[in-house]
Chain A
């Protein structure tokens, strides 16, 4: 493998405590090394540019059944958005839902080395893995969904944490999953009958547990198994005006739990796309609706076992997709666009609806403002992660634009000044009171340090310390001389150089390799309890439509280049 030295760049790395300092970074055999270890390195001249560790994404939807529904049912999404093949780089297409191949290239261009697919329906794990396999360059993993799973709900009815943990351990092994995702706990099962669970205390029809019990039970089981990542939550009543109290009540489920894991994380609960869950008021109207980001952040800032990502609205036409089936149904009634629903036996559901976040509507810009506020009101930036819940709040390739807004009051004011409802948004939200501008250091905390720690991967990613994975991103922005927010966006979306696992992927802005992507999965040490073993066998016989033996995803074709994290049981 070639050796590289990235010379003379402005290095930003909070784990080293360096903030735009001129340093050389050395890469050898796929890892960061001391510069003295290099023999005949190739030189990458990064003078006048920012150098960071490869970024880590904690929550996006880029692979799997609902993502593919989004692609196949929206030919219009590709109408003006495609890139021809060139050299080793294959064809690309799709604005809000890029093809698997395109996804890999987009992440590479933004300097991302690791990406978490945020929701994998277990029955469709094989599909998710096929897409991840075909997504070049970036390492990936996927979180199976558990929040509406029949096994989980039945065990939690009697608070059988050991059985829940045993079932989770089994499911992670057979689906090659990474951790525990929970979407609209209980509400998606209720959707099997066209109903929902609106608050954390609404019992799930028939199963007779509450969303609160599901959230707490999954946190407990997750810590029992000592998994690298914490429970990852999308709470009830996403997108509903007035939902912030539901969100705070859901976050409070983490109280009293402490991280129990060897992977360096502090949180026991990651709440995703918090923007969609921080609303006040009773309707979407410009006089009614209001931001409750401050109230939510007051709570979050006061805890030490919760992390979150923002789910920033980017004011684009996009495609929403979530395992929150009832929400998508509801959304399709708001905008009257096409609606796909897919209920999945014993496990979950999914909905997909195109959506336009109109910069000339009040609510679109208010949602935009709330995402910004959450980040700008955060005290410890490693707890707050940049996402667009892609593609739900915006396409993944908009991350650089989100960074621009967070770093520039001027860029934010431009949004508010140019839109029709800027004044209403200023009065109904907190955005007008906030003049904070984040630094490159804080951006690195949000996109590198915090996310890798949150996922239990801080021993591999998010840092340029010797021994870490050789993931290095070089952005053409000079922090000493450049002062243009537009240039920030351009730089973060078009890495000048990107090295992934020690391999040069982008050279002078051009993709020159498809890399050697790996799929990460977690193998918990816990075996099946006798009861779970019996239950699994029985339920496959009676209720599933595939046999138990055909359910398991074998590595060979589906996970051809695995990175397995083995976890010791307690």
Chain B
């Protein structure tokens, strides 16, 4: 026999779909099937059921091989490593719940850690741009209920956020958008011929790295000023045409991805994309939103915001919080050799950081808390597998529009396994003992 659990939240991408249905065995130990999820979301749930899944922490031997250790030993090692470091880096936090993030903050404060999340290699530039110019935005339901013009800039949602278009932007029929996709115009700005671009009404094939120019040209066009014949590979007629369509939209939105946040000009691209949106509010209603990747990278920035005042790159080493991306950002800290240990949780920097940083991680003591074997665990001295958040334990996560949603537990974790939060609490208790507080 089996039972169906509804309203399940997918702990994979920032789309944070909350309408999944999961079939589990009657005793709640086996996950049998997932419906409503996209392929990558379903995989995340099914992965938790893998037979070869690690269920015990493992410590690296001198010769590079692993030996199993208990969670107690793992917590002892982690606490000692953090306590003995002059400047530890605690990185990741994007694929775990806010409850774990909060315990992490308490640890970071106690030991004066450098705290950073995956925004540092993703939408950190967006966070900086918002600090420069603000951001006119909305919840995804506003898009669903009102938007008649959807723009994806520098991203390929069909692959990276597979249900984004069907749930929120292009296809849903909302309150003022009863015609669904027939009432909407889709523009994709991308140098590549992606699957998302192939269904667009207008595909602006911007020259690689020339997004800033194109955004700037749109601002010129809004004002009816003169453009050169071609900007960023796009003929001026096309730019005027799109600019006019944007001004005439009833409610428009720009979703942007790593194609603009991490290419030439970085935060300046986002600055001007936001200014484009500001301009458009002179004529109509327009919003702009980052396509946040990890399902709870947004939550990490929120939790640190209310606890420290900054969304990423938080330096706690002086007893109060400081923020200076470029100085207090993980890769800069690693490459300059400023940190002497790394504690990774809820992310895979081994796969996403530049080689130079990963090499440094290999040289200094490194703990990785992650349900999976990943490129990061390859350079770690201690790997602590934990329960899957959103599958084997619930907890709060923030969607890309900062809407907080509580993820749910749908099956038991394998016998004896603990959660991120529980493991962090074990480390915290030990640190409090070591520090005598």
- The chain A residues found within 8 Å of chain B, CB to CB, are 63, 65, 67-68, 71-75, 77-78, 82-85, 90-94, 97, 99-101, 123-124, 126-127, 130-131, 134, 150, 192-194, 206, 329, 332, 337-346, 349, 352-353, 542-547, 549-550, 554, 557-558
Closest residue to A329 on the B side, CB-wise?
A: B281
28 pairs, CB–CB < 8 Å, chain A vs chain B: A71-B306, A72-B301, A72-B305, A72-B310, A73-B134, A74-B131, A82-B320, A82-B321, A91-B316, A99-B308, A100-B306, A124-B403, A126-B406, A127-B404, A134-B306, A150-B175, A337-B134, A338-B133, A338-B134, A339-B133, A341-B287, A342-B139, A343-B139, A346-B141, A349-B138, A547-B6, A550-B405, A557-B395
- Which residues of chain A have C-beta atoms less than 8 A from B135's C-beta? 73, 340-341
The verdict on A545 contacting B167 (CB below 8 Å), with A72-B301, A342-B138, A343-B138 known, is: yes
Closest residue to A353 on the B side, CB-wise?
A: B134
Q: What CA separation (Å) do A337 and B134 show in the bound complex?
A: 8
Does B250 make an interface contact (CB < 8 A)? yes
Q: What CA separation (Å) do A192 and B176 show in the bound complex?
A: 11
B99 touches A134 (CB 8 A): no
- Which residues of chain A have C-beta atoms less than 8 A from B309's C-beta? 71-72, 75, 77-78, 93-94, 97, 99
Q: Which of A72, A126, A353 has the most CB of B within 10 A?
A: A72
The verdict on A134 contacting B136 (CB below 8 Å), with A127-B302, A339-B278 known, is: no
A134 touches B310 (CB 8 A): no
Chain B 144-170 interface mask (CB, 8 Å, partner A; 1/0):
111000000000000000000001100
Given contacts A349-B138, A547-B18, 18 further A-B contacts (CB under 8 A): A75-B309, A78-B309, A85-B109, A91-B321, A93-B321, A99-B307, A99-B309, A100-B307, A123-B403, A150-B175, A192-B142, A194-B281, A338-B130, A339-B133, A343-B137, A343-B287, A346-B141, A557-B406
Q: How far is the CB of A134 from chain B (nearest CB, A)?
A: 6
Closest residue to A100 on the B side, CB-wise?
A: B306
The verdict on A343 contacting B102 (CB below 8 Å), with A85-B109, A546-B18 known, is: no
Q: What CA separation (Å) do A206 and B301 show in the bound complex?
A: 37
Does B132 make an interface contact (CB < 8 A)? yes
Within 233-267 of B, Cβ neighbours of A (below 8 Å) are at: 250-251
B134 touches A332 (CB 8 A): yes
A68 touches B406 (CB 8 A): no
B320 touches A92 (CB 8 A): yes
Q: How far is the CB of B171 from chain A (nearest CB, A)?
A: 13
B311 touches A72 (CB 8 A): yes
A91 touches B320 (CB 8 A): yes
Q: How far is the CB of B153 from chain A (nearest CB, A)?
A: 19
Q: What CA separation (Å) do A99 and B319 show in the bound complex?
A: 15
Q: What CA separation (Å) do A557 and B101 show in the bound complex?
A: 13
Does B84 make an interface contact (CB < 8 A)? no
In the A-B complex, list the 8 residue pairs whose CB atoms are closest, starting with the nearest. Answer: A345-B141, A338-B134, A84-B319, A343-B138, A341-B136, A194-B285, A126-B404, A545-B141
Q: Which of these, B301, B307, B396, contacts A101 with CB under 8 Å?
A: B307
Q: What CA separation (Å) do A72 and B307 show in the bound complex?
A: 11
Chain B 107-146 interface mask (CB, 8 Å, partner A; 1/0):
0010000000000000000010011111111111110111
B306 touches A340 (CB 8 A): no
Does B427 make an interface contact (CB < 8 A)? no
A543 touches B174 (CB 8 A): yes
- Which residues of chain A have C-beta atoms less than 8 A from B320's C-beta? 82-85, 91-93
Does B332 make an interface contact (CB < 8 A)? no
Q: What CA separation (Å) do A240 and B404 show in the bound complex?
A: 34
Q: Is the interface of B mostly helix, strand, loop or mixed?
A: mixed
Closest residue to A344 on the B side, CB-wise?
A: B139
Q: What CA separation (Å) do A72 and B7 show in the bound complex?
A: 31
Closest residue to A121 on the B side, CB-wise?
A: B139
Q: How far is the CB of B279 from chain A (nearest CB, A)?
A: 12
Q: What CA separation (Å) do A345 and B99 show in the bound complex?
A: 26
Q: What CA separation (Å) do A83 and B145 show in the bound complex?
A: 44
Q: How far is the CB of B41 from chain A (nearest CB, A)?
A: 16
- Which residues of chain B have C-beta atoms less than 8 A from A77's C-beta? 309
Q: What CA separation (Å) do A283 and B109 show in the bound complex?
A: 49
- Which residues of chain B have C-beta atoms less than 8 A from A352's C-beta? 134
Q: Which of these, A123, A543, A554, contacts B144 with CB under 8 Å?
A: A543
- Which residues of chain A have C-beta atoms less than 8 A from B168's C-beta? 545
- Which residues of chain B have C-beta atoms less than 8 A from A85's C-beta? 109, 319-320
Q: Which of these, A92, A100, A547, contacts B7 with CB under 8 Å?
A: A547
B140 touches A545 (CB 8 A): yes
Q: What CA separation (Å) do A94 and B320 show in the bound complex?
A: 11
Q: How far is the CB of A275 from chain B (nearest CB, A)?
A: 25
Q: Which of B130, B321, B398 has the most CB of A within 10 A?
A: B321
A90 touches B145 (CB 8 A): no
Closest residue to A68 on the B side, CB-wise?
A: B305
Does B195 make an interface contact (CB < 8 A)? no
Does B368 make an interface contact (CB < 8 A)? no
Q: What CA separation (Å) do A130 and B143 show in the bound complex?
A: 26
- Which residues of chain B have C-beta atoms less than 8 A from A82's C-beta? 320-321
Q: What CA separation (Å) do A131 and B403 show in the bound complex?
A: 14
A340 touches B136 (CB 8 A): yes
Q: Which of A123, A342, A349, A546 has the most CB of B within 10 A?
A: A546
Q: What CA separation (Å) do A549 and B406 show in the bound complex?
A: 10
Q: What CA separation (Å) do A123 and B140 show in the bound complex?
A: 12
A342 touches B404 (CB 8 A): no
- Which residues of chain B have C-beta atoms less than 8 A from A91's C-beta? 109, 308, 316, 319-321
A344 touches B138 (CB 8 A): yes
Q: What CA separation (Å) do A64 and B416 show in the bound complex?
A: 37
- Which residues of chain B have C-beta atoms less than 8 A from A543's C-beta? 141, 144-145, 174-175
Closest residue to B127 on the A side, CB-wise?
A: A72
The verdict on A345 contacting B396 (CB below 8 Å), with A68-B305, A91-B320, A549-B6 known, is: no
- Which residues of chain B have C-beta atoms less than 8 A from A65's C-beta? 402
- Which residues of chain A have C-beta atoms less than 8 A from B201's C-beta? none
B251 touches A193 (CB 8 A): yes
The verdict on A130 contacting B404 (CB below 8 Å), with A71-B305, A75-B131, A91-B321 known, is: yes
Does B9 make an interface contact (CB < 8 A)? yes
Q: What CA separation (Å) do A557 and B305 show in the bound complex?
A: 19
Q: Which of these, B167, B307, B402, contacts A134 with CB under 8 Å?
A: B307
Q: What CA separation (Å) do A59 and B118 show in the bound complex?
A: 36
Does B363 make an interface contact (CB < 8 A)? no
- Which residues of chain A have C-beta atoms less than 8 A from B130's C-beta? 72-73, 338, 340
- Which residues of chain A have C-beta atoms less than 8 A from B250's C-beta? 193
Does B19 make an interface contact (CB < 8 A)? yes
Q: Which of these, A67, A194, A550, contacts B9 with CB under 8 Å?
A: A550
Q: What CA separation (Å) do A206 and B146 show in the bound complex?
A: 13
A343 touches B142 (CB 8 A): yes
A338 touches B132 (CB 8 A): yes
B404 touches A124 (CB 8 A): yes
A549 touches B7 (CB 8 A): yes
Q: What CA separation (Å) do A77 and B139 show in the bound complex?
A: 26
Q: What CA separation (Å) do A92 and B309 show in the bound complex?
A: 9
Does B318 make an interface contact (CB < 8 A)? yes
Q: What CA separation (Å) do A160 and B303 show in the bound complex?
A: 40
The verdict on A557 contacting B307 (CB below 8 Å), with A332-B134, A340-B130 known, is: no
Chain B 303-343 interface mask (CB, 8 Å, partner A; 1/0):
10111111100001011110100000000000000000000
Closest residue to B394 on the A side, CB-wise?
A: A557
- Which residues of chain A have C-beta atoms less than 8 A from B9's C-beta? 550
Q: What CA separation (Å) do A100 and B303 show in the bound complex?
A: 10
Q: How far is the CB of B212 from chain A (nearest CB, A)?
A: 19
A339 touches B136 (CB 8 A): yes
Q: What CA separation (Å) do A72 and B127 show in the bound complex?
A: 8
- Which residues of chain A have C-beta atoms less than 8 A from B137's C-beta? 340-343
Closest residue to B324 on the A side, CB-wise?
A: A75
A93 touches B308 (CB 8 A): yes
Does B284 make an interface contact (CB < 8 A)? yes
Q: Which of A67, A71, A101 has the most CB of B within 10 A?
A: A71
Q: How far is the CB of B6 from chain A (nearest CB, A)?
A: 7
Does B98 make an interface contact (CB < 8 A)? yes
Q: How far is the CB of A87 from chain B (nearest CB, A)?
A: 9
Q: Which of B6, B144, B308 has the most CB of A within 10 A?
A: B308
Q: Which of these, B102, B132, B139, B305, contacts A123 with CB under 8 Å?
A: B139
